[in-house]
Amino acid sequence: MNADPFSLEGKRVLVTGASSGIGRQVAISCAEMGATMVVTGRNAERLGQTLSLLEGVGHVSVVADLRKVDDIGRIVDSAGELNGLVHCAGVTAVVPFRVIGEKHLDEILETNFRAPVILTQRLLAGRHLMNGGSIVFIASSAAHIGTPFTSMYSASKSALITAARALALEVAAKQRIRVNCLSPGYTRTPMLDGLNEGASIEGNFALAPLGIGEPEDLANAVIFFLSDASRWITRATLHIDGGLTARVSY
């Protein structure tokens, strides 16, 4: 084991959603900790900016839409031998249950659930994830609460957590691959700005005793789950929410 248990030196890590918010910070922080990154996102310009911010050499970027199976194939083709996989890509929207349409349902479920499932399945089937590797899914506090007006978002993240828990049991013994989830509370990113415009939820941010989170807070937790420091932890979901859900029973 490395002298620094949190080091990512010598590890190759794929991050989705790396063109914005939490995913971008995860990519930057992992590279700072010594990882070689494969970063992916839809927006070429913003993904290029992320790539330019990564410390070290050998990083790769793939512009891809995770709702398109062919694009997922291109990500898998560029993946190489991975030690870590971080699913950050996700979408949300404020939609009351009574007006949910198929378009909304498809967009949320395809992006937040179907895409990470298919990408993980393809990487495992192609033996791109090395033994001893670590998979991290970014879920949400909403998965545990069932937040009003984002019911399908909440449901997509609950589904992700359950699938991750099952996967953890399938890949632990032989491959020693670990599978964990993070459930963030309100975190300062473009997604939160969009949500706040739609529903004016600013008042909710104060519900967390420690206030709003920063992308760095999530990136530090991701580093822990990718590193050897967490080598005996699998099938866990870490609530990283400034205490938002501390008083919620679920």
Ligand X SMILES: NC(=O)c1ccc[n+]([C@@H]2O[C@H](COP(=O)([O-])OP(=O)(O)OC[C@H]3O[C@@H](n4cnc5c(N)ncnc54)[C@H](OP(=O)(O)O)[C@@H]3O)[C@@H](O)[C@H]2O)c1
| Binding-site member from 191, 207, 229, 236 for ligand X (CB under 6 A) | 191
Does the protein bind ligand X through residue 65 (CB under 6 A)? yes
Q: Kindly tell me which of 83 and 111 has the beta carbon lying closer to ligand X.
A: 111
Measure Cα distances from 168 to 21, 95, 173, 174, 181 in Å.
27, 32, 9, 11, 11
Q: Is 46 helix (H, G, I), strand (E, B) or coil?
A: helix
Check binding of 38 to ligand X (CB under 6 A): no
Q: Applying CB under 6 A, does 138 fall inside the site for ligand X?
A: yes
Contact call for residue 50 and ligand X (CB under 6 A): no
The string over 215-246, giving b where at least 16 C-beta atoms fall within 10 Å of a residue's C-beta and e elsewhere, is bebbbbbbbbbbbbbbeeebbebbbbbbebbe
| Residue 242 binds to ligand X (criterion: CB under 6 A) | no
Q: Are 42 and 19 spatial neighbours (Cβ–Cβ below 8 Å)?
A: yes
Please identify which residue in 48, 67, 94, 159 interacts with ligand X, judged by CB under 6 A. 67
d(CA 174, CA 165): 16
Sole window of 74-82, 93-101, 168-176, 187-195 interacting with ligand X (rule: CB under 6 A): 187-195
In the complex, which residues of this chain contact ligand X (CB under 6 A)? 17, 19-23, 41-43, 46, 65-67, 88-92, 111, 138, 140, 184, 186-187, 189-192
